[in-house]
Amino acid sequence: MPFSLSKEYDVVVCGAGPAGLMAAYTLGKLTSGSRKVLLLDKKEPWKEPIFCAEAVSRDRLSALWPVDPSFVRGPLSGIYFTSPKRYRAEFYSKDCGLILDRARFHHAIADGCVNAGVECHYDVLIKKLERSGSGWQLTVDVGGNLETVSARTVIDATGPGCKLTRDIECLQGIESGNADLEPAIFAVAEGIEHSREHIELFFGSEFESGYGWIFPRDGVEVNIGFVLGKNVKSKVSLRQKLMDFVAHDYPQAKVKAVYGGMIACTGPQSKPFAKNGLFKAGDAASCVNPISRSGIVESLLCGKIVAESVSEWLKESTDEGRALVESLVQPRWMQSLGKSHVQLARAKDAFNSIRDSQFDRAARHLSKLPREKQTLFRIFFNVLWACPSLIWKMRSFLH
């Protein structure tokens, strides 16, 4: 359906993933329609495929967005930790998490954006972003026609590549998601025996500096894949490595589709998230758990923090006041979740140094225990017991 953009907005949110959707929704609610907020993406945010495993903590999600059965594939009651020799330890906690249908979840937040008064367009390609006076100018492709819009402030929620603002970030010295990216690949497959209420995680040198996974979807399909460390040089293509993994462990499986890409792998956050009215959110700001690489709830939280900051920024009447608001975005993230991420990032190298034999020893011991005794504490203790040097490596990281 043809449409035309206005020429001026208070805020333009670029990218309609979890961070962008949450930022736009929060701004709409906070400003009650008094500000012109525009949300843009090149595709509808509920279009498949969505490149992630879709698992979240129920408690952490519900603190940010009401959980509705319409976008939940099913509950999670535990995690299998599987060693290189396929010894399996189980952490069980009834209804501890959820498997989302990301397409429907995104649709729910997008509907919330519209209800909050946000102007949303999901078939617009942002071609260029540049400074213009005291604000920003965006050149966008709308149905093959180039249009120009201006904004007082812009939120970049375009994901880990964040090509839109790469050069601007370098000039402004703000936080970028470009530096730390890791290769990930997964397949949607059938015929893989699995528990519909468990995630299975695979550790060891087979998935160097990363891990493999199986995430349930609908009781028939699974998401099976892996992520590797950013500096790992695989001897075969990622696709071939994935197909070998599936064929070796699940020879009866039927692979329906394969998807790959780069994901952010957070390091310590030191640069600001905002400057001169340009704000970063979600994967674009590397707000990702550095060990699990989870980013759904992290992006929602970051999008909310950034939107609250932008709302304050718009109320300021001086450059000094706006600069102060910008300087506080990164500390707000650090207070909410960033400090935990920094600790995990510092411990990441130590975790990656665990040998296959040590994973096997810990998992073999744990697998012999009754399920109710396989607590996260006992799993962690057994890994330390199998790898005593890890205790000393982690002591300095966690202080």
* Residue 388 predicted with pLDDT over 80: no
The per-residue pLDDT for range 364-378, each reduced to its tens digit, is: 887 787 777 666 656
Q: From 241, 235, 222, select the one nearest 184 (Cα to Cα).
A: 241
Q: How confident is the model at residue 398 (pLDDT cuts 50, 70, 90)?
A: very low
pLDDT averaged over every residue in the chain: 87
User: d(Cα 59, Cα 291) in Å, to the nearest integer?
Assistant: 20
| Banded model confidence at residue 159, pLDDT cuts 50, 70, 90 | confident
Q: Where are the domains of the chain?
A: 8-49+103-179+266-349, 181-264
Fold for 181-264, please state it: D-Amino Acid Oxidase; Chain A, domain 2 (3.30.9)
- Structure confidence by residue, pLDDT tens digits, 172-191: 656 554 457 889 999 999 99
**Average pLDDT estimate for 238-242:** 96
Stated pTM of the model: 0.90
Confidence of residue 394 (pLDDT cuts 50, 70, 90): very low
What are 256-302's pLDDT values in tens digits? 999 988 887 765 556 788 999 999 999 888 888 888 888 899 999 99
Q: What is the pLDDT of residues 58-90, one digit of tens each?
A: 999 999 999 999 999 999 998 999 999 999 988
Choose from 19-33, 38-52, 93-107 the range with maximum mean pLDDT. 19-33
DSSP-derived secondary structure for 161-195 = S-GGGHHHHHHHT---SSSSEEEEEEEEEES----
Specify the pLDDT at position 180. Answer: 72
How far is Cα 63 from Cα 67, in angstroms, rounded to an integer?
9
Distance (Å) of CA 190 to CA 221, 251, 331? 5, 11, 44
Give the closest residue to 89 by CA, choosing from 195, 197, 201, 193. Answer: 201
- CB-side exposure of 150: number of CA atoms within 13 Å? 8
What band does 390 get if pLDDT is binned at 50, 70 and 90? very low
Q: 396: pLDDT confidence band, cut at 50, 70 and 90? A: very low
> Quick one: CATH architecture of 8-49+103-179+266-349?
3-Layer(bba) Sandwich (3.50)
State how far the alpha carbon of 297 is from the alpha carbons of 337, 371, 383, in Å: 11, 28, 27
Confirm if 337 and 57 have CB atoms less than 8 A apart. Answer: no
Give, in order, the Cα–Cα distances in Å from 158 to each of 13, 30, 128, 174: 9, 22, 13, 15
Lowest mean pLDDT among 53-57, 301-305, 313-317: 53-57
Residue at 166: amino acid letter: R
